[in-house]
């Protein structure tokens, strides 16, 4: 996937079991979709908590934060609850959405590449952020990209 591409639409359950559809969510503003390898790991917790901590900045730009991993709904619920995450965590248990976005790893040890997609209301990708080691860069660069287009 590249900047300017149409983001693949999908429907997945969030951590409460409620269906989330990308095209429907985009009616309410841009979506920042961040793929993380596994709930409750040190790096993924740091990344998810940073997205939580800068939530007011995303809200000020009218953007929605959405986390996604291959963890099941129950694991996502535990992760969201333990870390007081105030945004949906999607369960891509079979990895179909990760494959569609090109972030599914060939080996399931780490499952997906840590990648963030900033998606405009036209469903076009505004920015792609890749970093396996810097947990804060995902939210920070997403905010910068949204600031440039608003």
Q: Where are the domains of the chain?
A: 11-149
Ranges of H-type helices in the chain: 22-25, 42-53, 55-60, 73-82, 96-100, 137-149
Residue range 53-90, pLDDT digits in tens: 999 999 999 999 999 999 999 999 999 999 999 999 99
What average pLDDT does the chain have? 94
Catalytic residue among 12, 31, 44, 80: 44
CA–CA dist 125, 136 (Å, integer): 20
Give the global pTM.
Answer: 0.95
**Of 9-23, 113-127, 128-142, the least confident:** 128-142
Confidence of residue 109 (pLDDT cuts 50, 70, 90): low
Q: Which residues pair with 90 in a beta bridge?
A: 14, 68
The matching CATH number, chosen from 3.30.360.10, 3.40.30.10, 2.30.30.60, 2.40.40.20, for 11-149 is 3.40.30.10
Residue 25 · residue 116 · CB < 8 Å: no
Residue 110 has pLDDT above 80, yes or no: no
Sign, Cα dihedral of 98, 101, 107, 109: negative
Q: What is the pLDDT of residue 111?
A: 86
Confidence of residue 108 (pLDDT cuts 50, 70, 90): low
CA–CA dist 82, 77 (Å, integer): 8
Clarify whether 49 is annotated catalytic.
no
Q: What is the pLDDT of residue 130?
A: 93
The helix/strand/coil state of 46 is: helix
Q: Determine which helix (DSSP H) or strand (DSSP E) holds 125, and give its type and residue range.
A: strand 125-130
Per cent of the chain over pLDDT 90 is 85
The helix/strand/coil state of 31 is: strand
Residue range 85-96: average pLDDT?
96
Residue 80 · residue 62 · CB < 8 Å: no
Residues 6+ apart with CB under 8 A from 4: 124, 125
């Amino acid at each position: 996937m590249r900047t300017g591409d149409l983001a693949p639409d999908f429907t997945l359950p969030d951590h409460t079991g409620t269906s989330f559809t990308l095209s429907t969510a985009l009616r309410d503003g841009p979506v920042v979709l961040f793929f993380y390898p596994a709930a409750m790991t040190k790096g993924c917790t740091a990344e998810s908590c940073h997205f939580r901590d800068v939530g007011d900045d995303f809200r000020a730009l009218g953007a929605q934060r959405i986390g996604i991993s291959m963890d099941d709904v129950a694991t996502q619920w535990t992760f969201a609850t333990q870390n007081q995450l105030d945004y949906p965590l999607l369960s891509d248990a079979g990895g179909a959405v990760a494959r569609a976005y090109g972030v599914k790893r060939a080996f399931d040890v780490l499952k997906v590449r840590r990648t963030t997609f900033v998606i405009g209301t036209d469903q076009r990708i505004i920015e792609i952020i890749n970093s396996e080691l810097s947990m804060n860069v995902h939210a920070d660069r997403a905010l910068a990209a949204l600031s440039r287009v608003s």
